[in-house]
Amino acid sequence: MRYRVFFIALMWALGAAAQEHHDWEDQSVVGIHKLPYHATLVLPTHKSANPEVTSLNGKWAFCWSPDPEHRPVDFYRADYDESGWSKIDVPGNWQTQGYGKPIYTNMSYPFKKEPPYVTREPAKHFYSYDHRNPVGSYVCEFLLDKKESDKAYFLHFAGVKSAMYVWVNGQKVGYSQNSMSPAEFDVTPYVQSGRNRLAVEVYRWSDGSYLEDQDMFRLSGIYRSVDLWTRPLVHLSDYKLETRLSADHQQAQVVLRAKVRNMGKKAAKSQEVRLTFEGKEYTVKVPVVRPDSEQEVEVMCGVDRPQLWSAERPYLYPVAVSLLKGSKVTERFANHVGVRTVEIKGDVLLVNGQPVKLRGVNRHEHHPQTGRYVDEATMRRDLELMKQGNVNMVRTSHYPNDPLWYELCDRYGIYVMDEANNETHAYGLGNHFFGDDTTWRTAFVDRATSLVARDKNHPSVIFWSMGNESIAGTNVQAMVDTVRAMDDTRVVYCDTDREKSDVYDDGYLPPARFEQLLEQQRSQRPVMMREYAHAMGNSLGNFREYWDIIYRYPGAVGAAIWDWVDQGLKTNNPNLTCSPDDFAYGGDFGDQPNDGPFCCNGVVDPDRKPHPHYYEMQKVYQPLDFRQVNDRELQIVSHESFTELTAYDYKYVYLAEGIPVDSGWVTPDNRGELTLPGYRGPSDDVCCNIYACLPETTLWAPKGFAVAREQFVCKRPQSVYINFAEHARVDRQGNAVSVSADGVQAAFDERGALVSWKQHGVEQLAQPLAPYFWKPANDNQKRNAYGRKCAPWRTAADNRTLTQVAVEERPGSAVKVTYQLQLPDVSANLTLTYEVGGSGVAVAMDYRPTAQTPERMPKFGMHLGLPLSKSLIEWQGRGPQENYCDRKTGSFVGRYQLPLKQFQVDYIAPQDNANRTDVDWCRFGDVHVSFAEKDCLGQFRAWNYTEETLERAQHPADLTPCGYINVNLDSEVYGVGGNDSWGADTLDEYQPDARQPKHFAFTLSVR
């Protein structure tokens, strides 16, 4: 080992690192001349005001090379002319700015697997076959008014992917990998007064990429901030803020441990470290610090009756950490402290001594235009939406995030699982290939060290995660030991080596299996699903079922949805093959290999517009539930640990026939019960909505925002029928029947389709009304057995055969036309019954299976086409957002109106969408559909394209309009599913059972 280290150092000194030996293909090299990791010294929102920090962000000169052999080898020279180069934004990824291709893979490496090498020959279809590790060469200049002899100068890179070399004024400074953590270099010997030249050579892949196999777009470049720090030769190299809380929570201690480093040539004397807390100053003298050494000191202060930090009440004490020489402050950093404890007792996770449930999401750092670089406004929007969606926990999947994220989580109130930049998924979960290979230990421990060293001062961080879908074995143990030695105040989490984890993890379990696991682990240790409820496309079914279980078991910590935001891109990349108006996903850049749209799993889209299932998450995650005691009394059930019920204002709204008619405010009694005034109006269709609202504006929502809500049905409407006909005429041509009745004309073909429907001579149909049992798949169903299991139903209606037609003319009543049909594709029978009367057409479907009928059907209902002129849609039912039988908790019954374009949902990857459930009636312009039997409410969907177009489309731009409104009217529709998107089926109770008889009825009229 000594010889190897000497050899690498010699090669570095000779400038021959790029010949036979590559630092970026050597797992033992994680950095050269890189300074130790340390805490984020100053809060990111205060950084611009700190006199020590000069931002180097902006336009840099840039040259992209397809491989190391074609890079400008000597571009770092002080006399190199890069005036002909392009300009690139720093921070930013080069692929999102037009250089090379973004590559999206879930777990496949985009280069040949042969660790530690990343330039061996891959399959010919790989992008990396002709682009064997692209290189980005960056140059920027900065001015230093005067280089001061009593100052030290540091370059701080917050994040560079995947590996980089750094030069200043033509002199090599160092090397770094571990791309999601900072790299800091002492550039004091290299900077000069006046103009300085910074050159950075970034490699797309390195041996570190084997430990960065995360499910995301693989992008590269200097994607986080670059800063020049000008500091005293004697300065604070690191500090840790820790809080200790008494058992009764009445006393707290704030402990500052600070390291003072001396980079001068003389011993540093008369130094002091000061902690400023609540206006008081606490100071400790620093022992003499000899040259090129450090001293650590501790400052402590007490707090009586402290206000505690939690996600519910994120109280922060502002603090300042200062270094003084004599009475002069030489450095001062603004920070904050949250007083809180995190511990496990038995199988329960406690924050400040109270059990908490973590309502979580996984969040990749993603922006649709800038890729891995996420600006502050977008971070704040994420947090607003999370808090409004009742999320209280975020997992930084699967790497340390930008430092600003943690400050904002502290302020907004979010529990954080902070995760090491460690995933080796392609080698298997819990693999020992890397897990027991000691030559990789330095790299794994480096990732654990950088995680804790940087983020240790954030109260929001309650977990240290050793990574995701990675290793088991001795290297995990080394990571855990390192973390515990650095910080023992938080929970250690490991998903692939469970024996080393404080919490038992499993992911993507369906509700029943999750409950079984909780039974098995009862009283042993807490259980959490760090990933569950895969929210790909139209998803998040059976979400309520998970939380019924979590609230039932004290040992269930919670779970985190996969994931927060769709990773779609809208960039100026010239390789884009889809419409620039669409979000691009894997393969849209001609990138190989790729995993298509599997990166689109969010509850919000890339622009942070909530998907329909966001509102299901919001409802199920709400911190309060309401239970009906009787007609007028409700019981409030709290899932919070630190918030009184009286912290909210409670509003009730009565709706009659879907329209608000009465509202007011009520106050809970000391038992947590609300007494409502009741509604005495004339309507037979009454609901009551109850809301728990914010009494004041917060950082994340305005006054009056509802954090919890519920709806109770008070009365249900009666059945609706069509009017009888005064005069009727029937014309029959074989099995085709035409009926005229008081201004209504209806024509039926030989197999029972309503092919024409006129009222007062105006045709209402653009396409016939006919039985239809097929539903296009959503993303979950594209990847399970749905298509095979339900395949016979795709053609079942088209291939129906007629058994009998009966016409019943009843004077003074509606004309009744009945078609007896067989469905040979599925061995079932169907009866269609129409009644034509003075106000419209009543339709009924009756279905009878046989012993040979398949078990499941996609849907039970009909479809028709209506003119585009009727594209304003109104309905009374659940809404306003799309909802399905297994995802409707968050959609309340009401009266809603939307234009067709807003009614349908354009998922990034087109799929089934737009359903509305529990519908009394719907209206398209003046065409009114009443689901006539209230014990069997209807469902409907509407699009301006056909199912065939939807199933062929790869992007929304492919959804060619069909020229009419394609409407589906149904009594049952297959649920969206929500466990995972690679095989899990919709739960049985949300699949239409084709073995059971079915009845469906509605009326068509013009109003």
DSSP annotation string for 79-105: T---TTSEEEEESS-SGGGTSS--EEE
Assess whether pLDDT exceeds 70 at residue 654: yes
Mean per-residue pLDDT, 557-583: 95
Mean per-residue pLDDT, 245-267: 96
Assess whether pLDDT exceeds 60 at residue 472: yes
Assess whether pLDDT exceeds 80 at residue 466: yes
> Could you give the 3-state DSSP secondary structure of residue 477?
helix
Mean per-residue pLDDT, 929-941: 86
Mean per-residue pLDDT, 532-561: 97
Assess whether pLDDT exceeds 80 at residue 10: no
Q: Which of 353, 447, 371 is nearest to 37 (CA)?
A: 447
Q: Which of 927, 915, 923, 924 is nearest to 879 (CA)?
A: 915
Q: How far apart are CA 973 and CA 527, in angstroms?
A: 34
Q: Known catalytic residue: 531?
A: yes
> Could you give the 3-state DSSP secondary structure of residue 405?
helix
Long-range contacts for 282-289 (Cβ within 8 Å, ≥24 apart)? 282/256, 283/324, 286/260, 289/234, 289/260, 289/261, 289/262
Q: How far apart are CA 416 and CA 647, in angstroms?
A: 24
Residue pair 367/374 in contact by the 8 Å Cβ criterion: yes
Residue pair 338/410 in contact by the 8 Å Cβ criterion: yes
Only one residue has tokens 């691009």, namely 584
Residue type at 492 in one-letter notation: V
Q: Which of 476, 56, 399 is nearest to 219 (CA)?
A: 399
Assess whether pLDDT exceeds 50 at residue 11: no
Q: How far apart are CA 382 and CA 414, in angstroms?
A: 12
Assess whether pLDDT exceeds 70 at residue 692: yes
Assess whether pLDDT exceeds 90 at residue 1007: no
Q: Is 648 left (phi over 0), alpha (psi -120 to 50) or beta?
A: beta
Mean per-residue pLDDT, 868-878: 97
DSSP annotation string for 33-68: SPPPP----S-GGGGGG-TTEEE--EEEEEEEESSG
Mean per-residue pLDDT, 679-697: 92
Chain centroid offset of residue 309 CA: 25
- C-alpha dihedral, 234 to 32 to 215 to 579, nearest 10°: 90
Angle value at C-alpha 120, between 118 and 126, nearest 5 degrees: 85
How does pLDDT run across 265-305, given as a tens digit for each residue? 999 999 999 999 998 999 999 999 999 999 999 999 999 99
Q: How far apart are CA 137 and CA 201, in angstroms?
A: 5
Chain centroid offset of residue 59 CA: 31
Beta-strand pair 649-656/556-561: unpaired
For residues 888-900, b (16+ Cβ closer than 10 Å) or e, as one string? bbbbbbbbbebeb
Which one of 272, 407, 531, 545 is the catalytic residue? 531
Q: Known catalytic residue: 835?
A: no
Beta-strand pair 160-161/183-186: unpaired
How does pLDDT run across 938-990, given as a tens digit for each residue? 999 999 999 999 999 999 999 999 999 999 999 999 999 999 999 999 999 99
Chain centroid offset of residue 228 CA: 34
Q: How confident is the model at residue 724, as a pLDDT?
A: 64
Mean per-residue pLDDT, 381-393: 98
DSSP annotation string for 107-162: S--SS--BTTBS-S---TTSHHHHSSS-EEEEEEEEEES---TTEEEEEEES-EES
Q: Burial of 658 by CB count in 10 Å (0-12 exposed, 13-18 middle, 19+ buried)?
A: buried
Mean per-residue pLDDT, 884-895: 97
Which one of 201, 212, 469, 835 is the catalytic residue? 469
> Could you give the 3-state DSSP secondary structure of residue 220?
coil
Q: Percent of the chain having pLDDT more than 70?
A: 97
Assess whether pLDDT exceeds 90 at residue 648: yes
Residue type at 962 in one-letter notation: C
User: What's this model's pTM, rounded to 2 decimal places?
Assistant: 0.95
Q: How far apart are CA 656 and CA 714, in angstroms?
A: 10
Which residues, in sequence order, are bridge partners of residue 297? 258
Assess whether pLDDT exceeds 60 at residue 202: yes
Quote the mean pLDDT of the chain: 95
- C-alpha dihedral, 550 to 554 to 556 to 560, nearest 10°: 70
Q: How confident is the model at residue 936, as a pLDDT?
A: 75
Q: How confident is the model at residue 1, as a pLDDT?
A: 38
Q: How confident is the model at residue 239, as a pLDDT?
A: 98
How many Å is the Cα radius of gyration of the chain? 33
Angle value at C-alpha 509, between 506 and 513, nearest 5 degrees: 105
Residue pair 856/838 in contact by the 8 Å Cβ criterion: no
Q: How far apart are CA 96 and CA 568, in angstroms?
A: 12
Residue pair 579/955 in contact by the 8 Å Cβ criterion: yes
Question: Which tokens hold the place of 611?
Answer: 């998907």
Helices (H), 697-796: 779-782, 786-789, 792-796
Q: How confident is the model at residue 515, as a pLDDT?
A: 97
Q: How far apart are CA 226 and CA 139, in angstroms?
A: 12
Q: How far apart are CA 170 and CA 80, in angstroms?
A: 9
| Residues 6+ positions from 217 with CB-CB distance below 8 Å | 95, 102, 103, 104, 366, 371, 567, 569, 586, 599
Q: How confident is the model at residue 825, as a pLDDT?
A: 97
Q: How confident is the model at residue 723, as a pLDDT?
A: 63
How does pLDDT run across 108-160, given as a tens digit for each residue? 999 999 999 999 999 999 999 999 999 999 999 999 999 999 999 999 999 99
How does pLDDT run across 837-855, given as a tens digit for each residue? 888 999 999 999 999 999 9
Q: Burial of 969 by CB count in 10 Å (0-12 exposed, 13-18 middle, 19+ buried)?
A: buried
Assess whether pLDDT exceeds 50 at residue 15: no
Which residues, in sequence order, are bridge partners of residue 821? 802, 830
Q: How confident is the model at residue 742, as a pLDDT?
A: 87
Residue type at 298 in one-letter notation: E
Mean per-residue pLDDT, 317-326: 96
Assess whether pLDDT exceeds 90 at residue 715: no
Q: How far apart are CA 983 and CA 961, in angstroms?
A: 32
